[in-house]
Amino acid sequence: MAGMKGLKKKRRIQVIVLAFVALAGSTALIGYAMRDGINYFRAPSDVVAEPPAARETFRIGGLVEDGTLVRGQGETITFSVTDGGASVPVSYTGVLPDLFDEGQGMIGTGNLVDGVFVATEILARHDETYMPKEVVDALKDQGVYQDPAESGGS
């Protein structure tokens, strides 16, 4: 009987160790799979204060600065995005969303190359009142956010 209890205890420990190894392995695989899918949000002030590495993909958001939108040859567009505290020049090749315009909120995904944010994707707010929470927070931090409901917007 004593040998049977020792065998059960040994088998139980083996199952626990195997479960732990499987859990650690699956966590590592999930982390590895998500490494390219996680894009951190940065406000223009954060990008100017601490520029990210050139190979790091991140999201930047704010308002399209008035007077900076330039449509170049073909589909290349340049503009600056600001949060009221700093501006970052942006270059984008592609078709912009219909509601994209100066003074409007936007979020872009891409990389910082020689001080210019090279966007691979641009998102504009989908109506006149919506703005992503990250952009609102960044604008509030700089003291330039105005709630559309309070300023007479609809």
pLDDT tens by residue, 92-141: 998 888 778 888 888 899 999 988 999 999 888 655 555 667 777 777 77
Tokens of 138: 């960044």
Tell me: the pLDDT tens digits for 63-84? 888 888 888 777 788 999 988 8
Would strands 116-124 and 87-93 be described as parallel, antiparallel, or unpaired? parallel
Q: Residue ranges of the domains in the chain?
A: 1-38, 40-142
CATH code linked to domain 40-142: 2.40.50.140
Distances (CA, A) of 143 to 42, 48, 109, 136: 17, 17, 24, 10
Q: Helices (DSSP H) in the chain: which residue ranges?
A: 2-34, 44-49, 133-142
